[in-house]
Structure 1
Amino acid sequence: MTELDERKLDPAVALASLDETAPREPHRLFALKQGDCFAVADAYGDIRGAGDGFFRDDTRVLSEFRLTVGGRQTSLLGASLSQDNVLFTSNLTNLPMQSVGGRDIPQGAIHIERVRLLWQDRLFERVTLSNYSQETSAIRVSLHFAADFRDMFEVRGSTRLKRGMAHAAEMDATSVLLRYDGLDGLARLSAISFSQAPDQLSAERADFLIAVTKRSSKVLYIEVGPEAAETPDRDRFRAAAARARFGMRAKRRHGATVHSSGRVFNDWVERARADVALLTTELATGPYPYAGIPWFSTAFGRDGVISALQMLWLNPGLARGVLAFLAQHQATETSPFSDSQPGKIMHETRKGEMAALRELPFGRYYGGVDTTPLYIHLACAYADRTGDMDFIDRLWPSLTAAAEWTEEASRATGFVTYQRAAESGLANQGWKDSFDSVFHADGRIPKGPIALVEVQGYVFAAFRGLAALARRRGGYAQAEHWESRAEEMRIAVERDFWLDDLGFYALAIDGAGEPCKVRTSNAGHLLFVGLPEPARAQMVADQLLSATFHSGWGLRTLADDAVFFNPMSYHNGSIWPHDTAICGVGLARYGERESVVRLMSGTFESAVHFNMRLPELFCGFTRSPGEAPIAYPVACLPQAWSAGSAFMLMQACLGLEIDGWDGQIRVTRPRLPIGIDTLTLRHLNVGDRAVDLTFQRVGDRVVAFLADRHEGLVPLIVRT
């Protein structure tokens, strides 16, 4: 008789023996995503129901998923994501415990490997137990599970007066079905299926008594999906893994690749590229980079546009997908609840129960003041990069509608302003959208409508770009009109936002016409679009690069002498990699390319400390020798525009521009990142051709050249 047969498990005893007080080492959260599903768990592979979980269409369909062995928490050996972001692996071992028969098993006798992936709305997991002791052991393995079916906004902290109905669990020999009927009339299901029948099964736990002979392994397969699976097994797991990896490879093949002489630098670039691919979802309109996991795994207008701008030089197809989606969802009516007006571009879309019931406005929400001019700017940049006028012609009615909204929004004051139309909307509607991110120097919160400085820069770029496109289409009257509007905006910003006493641009102008005399990174976005006159741009650049803003890891969002400065805040002194990258492009535009090299170095070194993955933001403390950057505790990871910042800064360093109209590559005063001697761009598309372009350090200069096999096909113009 085996030890497995000697003693059957008492569920009450098992629950009592669960050691919740076992010390847990500091750990990171790990995210997987596929389509409109994502999972966030700790390094143990456990979901504990805080901000973590398995989510489908903005609903948490698994709020607990914990593995215990011998009634105890396991001990963490290590955890990682595969380079392509498809597989999560956690390596664990047992704490001191007893076998099912009561024999003591020392710590480290059993190795537990958890491997997880997502594919087609389903979570697949393989649990392998390997016995490295000299004794055959019967082990109690327990999986604790629950599904609270909470809307994403409930998980983030929103409260609801009413919820739908949660049904009693339905069980058969190898599965448990959990069901919730939402107030929106939709049934949401979570079926947990096992490769073998549990020895004990309840609505919240499955217990397996597994005999593992010495020097052998046993495998358990688990699946969680909207319906019970066929019996999970090795073949289903391997097939799902193969398809998921093939799908990810297909996404990563789009666009040019980067390879350098720096091994660690290459690791960062590969991780950033993999993160952009992970967050990119194939929609009916084309690829779209979702903003970030866990809070923003959906299509955001601003985030999608900026991510597409960051990747445009390498992969213009991403911009095309973003533009097509946003054009399809452009507002056609006025609604205070959703903050929409005809021509306005969407800020956010959600699929959860609260959005469907209009408990909040984010089902399709338009409360972003900058998204519409940024959308126009992306379209113009895409056209310059590709020369794809056929697509621009199809997009033209949407672009002109967006331009009309922009002009109407600026009619009253000459600036594009925001003031939320309903109390349920966002109070601040720029990229710094927290409640205290816009303020006066004395700490007063300004009254609306508010004109943000960077938004006026985006409007300037939008009108200037549209004018150039209109000329190409033969619309000379339109072109002259938009050129005039761009120049009017430039003059107005220089007149009303410039602060002589600070040598800087005001953060905003409030509803009373009073400037918010606060120095913020927003002014760097004006450099990004090329609005300031050179002397003023230099004054802004000098301050951005001073210790007031530059922490050593990146640029703070707020000067360190401001009344609300707090390096641990969301927007008032933290470091956002995408913001640093946008400012970096602006600095390069005005000749500060060596400074951009230093910014890229700090950003790369930050990524190294964050295991090669830049978070949404991190704290803005000043860099000290031997110390790492300080994490912001609830930052999204991964975040599309943080991953894309690597490529935006790289382009700014290289001084590279691709002219899709003339089929040329232009390189101006190229620089390589610190420590990199060669960098090659492979399969860089210019028109209908693909070329390899190499940058090489030669003494104190950087030269650029095309691979021999491409010579003569694409003109390369280098200015030193």
Structure 2
Amino acid sequence: MDFRRNVVLKEHYTFFVADADGHARSAEHGLYNRDTRFLSRYAWRWLPADAGEFQTLVALSQRPDRFDGHYALIAGPSQLLAVRRRTFVTATGMRDELDVANTSMERRSLSLELDVAGDFADLFEARGWHHIERSAPDADASGTTLHLAHSASDGVHQSVTLRFDELAAARPDGADWELSLAPGESVRLSVALDVDNPLDVAPHAPIAYDAWRASFQPLPEAPDPRVLARAIDDLRGLLLFTPEGPLLAAGIPWFVAAFGRDALIAAHMLLPHRPDVAEGTLRFLAARQGREHDTFRAEAPGKILHEVRYGELSRVGRVPHTRYYGTVDATPLFVTLLEAHRQAVGDDALVRALRPAWEAALAWMTNDGDADGDGFLEFAPAAPGEGLTVQSWKDSGDSMSHADGSLAEGAIAVSEVQGYAFAAYRAAAGWYRDLGEDAQADAWQARADTLSTRFHEAFWLDDLGTYAMALDGAKRPLRVHNSDAGHLLWSGIVPERQAERLVRSLLGPETWSGWGVRTLGASEVRYNPVSYHNGSVWPHDTALFAAGLAAYGYLDEARTIVEATYALAAEQSDLRLPELVAGYERDDRPPVPYPVACRPQAWDAAALIYLLGIDVRPGAAASRAPRRPPAPPPPR
């Protein structure tokens, strides 16, 4: 599905996917709540008594929870009938309001039909990945109300109720209206949809859009203020209001869920403006931290989860996503976000409150996360059908390759994860120092120092001027140009003596496209500019590199990335950064889209705010310790 040509609305765990005119009528369309599609069809038809068809004059979503449409019957130079529509999604359903007006000089008749169908499919079914045999939902139409209900195979009973205005006549598959309007007359029609899902829990208090916007003032002037305003609204729309506090869903529509890695990085990018999002994210993940060894869910004690889903396939164990832990990087990122939050708010209350969680995370990193004891964090690819093969951020199965194009095998140690671990160990050393536990502080600082030394020895590729993307199970480096190396500047693990060569390499023609850093170098065997992780450009990936550049003192280079990222967003018709774009060289043509890229995506929208917080003013380097790591502090 190309989301540039679809309407996607969201509030909390509820979202609506429709075509560009606002009608849900194709395979993946519908109204979803907590990974269940309650309605698979929701499509309007306007049928004038006279010949003619309505045209769509306006179809806009100017806020993530709202859609505005204007549909007109036009004869000659003039509009005869108008339907002005506003649709907005709520935490528990959707509201639809239609103002129908006769703008002609004669009485006119109009029939309106709303076609509705419910299938209560799991989101993974709706996307065509799995299938569950189920009966048709029960449909009860009476007067101006339609009720659809279904009991899942595990006994969970879910329903949706549609309440129409008094002019409607409900039917089992929708509702009908018959209107006769005098010249100049108008009437308002309405539909209220309410989802009843027992999986819903009492949410944390929602945040109003105006209050959310105000929290980002003042910000430095953006290269394009329209892009920034869109990103701020998108981030508000992406919020999930969990009992532990606000947390950002990874993206709309298919990632309206808690994803450990995405939520942690996006929350980091919103500091210092929204420390409540960082705290909500940390508390949510701590409450669901791994407790036992479970191969199916890739769970282990202390491990931070990758993804939480509530659909039927997860609940009955067909997929492992009730709580899926198949990620190697969320656990160190949990620790580094906690330290970034401490710096942003200026106290360590949350560090003290979450001590059991971060100590368990560190224990996982030094035990299960490093199964062979070589000091590097690795993941063992999941068996086919049991989870992700690659469990770092480049999680497509073909993303980890050698220079000859062969795929890495065995337990893989990805480069950027070692940087995150380095930062986490240094954070732990500082916390223990503050707690008066000097022996522990010394031990964690020593671990960080050892990792830094061993990492450089094992990963540095002197002939390429960059770091290997990973080590395979035989400890052979993946000798390819890659974007992961940019994260190493962000984490601070790059030695001062290597920084300049690394920067030159990443900003050279092999990886720098002009829009961002290619995930894989342009001369590599597996390079494909229109691929998920083998040559595409991911804006969040490039933004982390930019933060690292600024922290190491490369301000001009960081400024180039800020400008390129905002230019990329400005090229989009909706002013949103897409999840990714093709890796073609920037020239006088627009960026080539990746057709199924999600938009908006949390870490991309957050990157636009994060980049403005990077101090790239002339002379800024003189006011900081040169080339100092950006997020984790030096040992205290």
Instruction: State TM-score, norm by structure 1.
Output: 0.81
In structure 2, which of residues 185, 195, 201 is the aligned counterpart of residue 226 of structure 1?
195
Structure 1 CA distance for aligned equivalents of residues 254 and 489 of structure 2? 30
Question: In the alignment, is residue 139 of structure 1 matched against residue 110 of structure 2?
Answer: yes
In structure 1, which of residues 72, 81, 92 is the aligned counterpart of residue 71 of structure 2?
92
Structure 2 CA distance for aligned equivalents of residues 312 and 246 of structure 1? 17
Structure 1 residues 309 and 351, CA gap change in structure 2 (3 angstroms): same
Aligned twin of 1:180:
150
Tell me, yes or no, if the aligned pair for 2:555 and 2:621 is still in contact at 8 Å: no
Question: In the alignment, is residue 123 of structure 1 matched against residue 86 of structure 2?
Answer: no
In structure 1, which of residues 557, 561, 572 is the aligned counterpart of residue 519 of structure 2?
557
1:221 Cα deviation (Å)?
0.2
Aligned twin of 1:464:
426
The residue identity in structure 1 corresponding to 2:190 is: Y
1:207 Cα deviation (Å)?
2.5
Structure 1 CA distance for aligned equivalents of residues 7 and 595 of structure 2? 14
Structure 1 residues 73 and 142, CA gap change in structure 2 (3 angstroms): farther
Aligned twin of 1:614:
577
Taking the TM superposition and a 5 Å limit, the aligned residue runs for 1:47-196 are: 47-70=24-47, 74-82=54-62, 84-94=63-73, 108-160=79-131, 162-196=132-166
Aligned twin of 1:321:
280
The residue identity in structure 2 corresponding to 1:356 is: R
In structure 2, which of residues 185, 200, 209 is the aligned counterpart of residue 248 of structure 1?
209
Aligned twin of 1:345:
304
Structure 1 residues 205 and 384, CA gap change in structure 2 (3 angstroms): closer
User: Which has the larger displacement, 270-279 or 408-417?
Assistant: 408-417
Q: Over aligned residue pairs, what C-alpha RMSD do you find?
A: 2.5
Tell me, yes or no, if the aligned pair for 2:576 and 2:600 is still in contact at 8 Å: yes
In structure 1, which of residues 331, 347, 367 is the aligned counterpart of residue 326 of structure 2?
367
Aligned twin of 1:41:
18
The residue identity in structure 1 corresponding to 2:584 is: F
User: Which has the larger displacement, 351-360 or 133-142?
Assistant: 133-142
Aligned twin of 1:207:
176
1:340 Cα deviation (Å)?
0.7
Tell me, yes or no, if the aligned pair for 1:174 and 1:194 is still in contact at 8 Å: yes
Task: Deviation per CA, 1:650-704: give whole Å up to 9, x if none.
Answer: 1224479xxxxxxxxx964589xxxxxxxxxxxxxxxxxxxxxxxxxxxxxxxxx
In structure 1, which of residues 601, 604, 609 is the aligned counterpart of residue 563 of structure 2?
601
The residue identity in structure 1 corresponding to 2:363 is: E
Task: Deviation per CA, 1:584-613: give whole Å up to 9, x if none.
Answer: 111112222111111111111111122222
1:628 Cα deviation (Å)?
2.1
Structure 2 CA distance for aligned equivalents of residues 579 and 505 of structure 1? 16
Structure 1 CA distance for aligned equivalents of residues 68 and 562 of structure 2? 31
The residue identity in structure 1 corresponding to 2:194 is: G
Task: Deviation per CA, 1:280-318: give whole Å up to 9, x if none.
Answer: 122111111111111110111101100111011222221
Structure 1 residues 224 and 482, CA gap change in structure 2 (3 angstroms): same
Aligned twin of 1:714:
none
Which secondary structure does the structure 2 equivalent of 1:226 belong to? Answer: strand
1:259 Cα deviation (Å)?
4.8
Aligned twin of 2:339:
380
Aligned twin of 2:468:
506
Tell me, yes or no, if the aligned pair for 1:549 and 1:556 is still in contact at 8 Å: yes
Question: In the alignment, is residue 419 of structure 1 matched against residue 380 of structure 2?
Answer: yes
Tell me, yes or no, if the aligned pair for 1:655 and 1:669 is still in contact at 8 Å: no
Structure 1 CA distance for aligned equivalents of residues 53 and 313 of structure 2? 35
Taking the TM superposition and a 5 Å limit, the aligned residue runs for 1:328-339 are: 328-339=287-298
The residue identity in structure 1 corresponding to 2:434 is: R
Tell me, yes or no, if the aligned pair for 1:86 and 1:248 is still in contact at 8 Å: no
Aligned twin of 1:410:
370
Higher relative contact order (CA 8 A, sep 6+): 2
Task: Deviation per CA, 1:563-582: give whole Å up to 9, x if none.
Answer: 12112111111121111100
Tell me, yes or no, if the aligned pair for 2:3 and 2:596 is still in contact at 8 Å: no
User: Which has the larger displacement, 425-434 or 526-535?
Assistant: 526-535
Task: Deviation per CA, 1:44-64: give whole Å up to 9, x if none.
Answer: 111123333211111111111
Structure 2 CA distance for aligned equivalents of residues 301 and 27 of structure 1? 26
Structure 1 residues 382 and 295, CA gap change in structure 2 (3 angstroms): same
Structure 1 residues 261 and 500, CA gap change in structure 2 (3 angstroms): closer
1:334 Cα deviation (Å)?
0.5
Tell me, yes or no, if the aligned pair for 1:260 and 1:266 is still in contact at 8 Å: no
Which secondary structure does the structure 1 equivalent of 2:498 belong to? Answer: helix
The residue identity in structure 1 corresponding to 2:519 is: T
Tell me, yes or no, if the aligned pair for 2:530 and 2:583 is still in contact at 8 Å: yes
Question: In the alignment, is residue 303 of structure 1 matched against residue 265 of structure 2?
Answer: no
Which secondary structure does the structure 2 equivalent of 1:416 belong to? Answer: coil
Aligned twin of 1:102:
none
Structure 2 CA distance for aligned equivalents of residues 634 and 609 of structure 1? 17
Structure 2 CA distance for aligned equivalents of residues 122 and 225 of structure 1? 5
1:179 Cα deviation (Å)?
1.9
Task: Deviation per CA, 1:198-228: give whole Å up to 9, x if none.
Answer: 35x5432422221122223222101222369
Structure 2 CA distance for aligned equivalents of residues 260 and 483 of structure 1? 36
Structure 1 residues 50 and 619, CA gap change in structure 2 (3 angstroms): farther
The number of aligned residues is 609
Structure 1 CA distance for aligned equivalents of residues 53 and 547 of structure 2? 48
Question: In the alignment, is residue 257 of structure 1 matched against residue 217 of structure 2?
Answer: yes
User: Which has the larger displacement, 40-49 or 176-185?
Assistant: 40-49
Structure 2, unaligned stretches of length 5 or more? 198-204, 625-636
Structure 1 CA distance for aligned equivalents of residues 346 and 594 of structure 2? 41
Task: Deviation per CA, 1:174-208: give whole Å up to 9, x if none.
Answer: 12222221112112212222103435x54324222
Task: Deviation per CA, 1:494-539: give whole Å up to 9, x if none.
Answer: 0111112212111111111211111110011111111112232212
Structure 1 CA distance for aligned equivalents of residues 305 and 395 of structure 2? 15
The residue identity in structure 2 corresponding to 1:76 is: T
Which secondary structure does the structure 2 equivalent of 1:68 belong to? Answer: strand
The residue identity in structure 2 corresponding to 1:391 is: L
Structure 1 CA distance for aligned equivalents of residues 350 and 552 of structure 2? 31
Tell me, yes or no, if the aligned pair for 1:538 and 1:590 is still in contact at 8 Å: no
Tell me, yes or no, if the aligned pair for 1:291 and 1:299 is still in contact at 8 Å: yes
Structure 1, unaligned stretches of length 5 or more? 1-24, 97-104, 229-243, 657-665, 672-720
Task: Deviation per CA, 1:80-130: give whole Å up to 9, x if none.
Answer: 233x5342111222377xxxxxxxx99842222210112240200001222
Structure 2 CA distance for aligned equivalents of residues 284 and 475 of structure 1? 33
The residue identity in structure 2 corresponding to 1:614 is: L
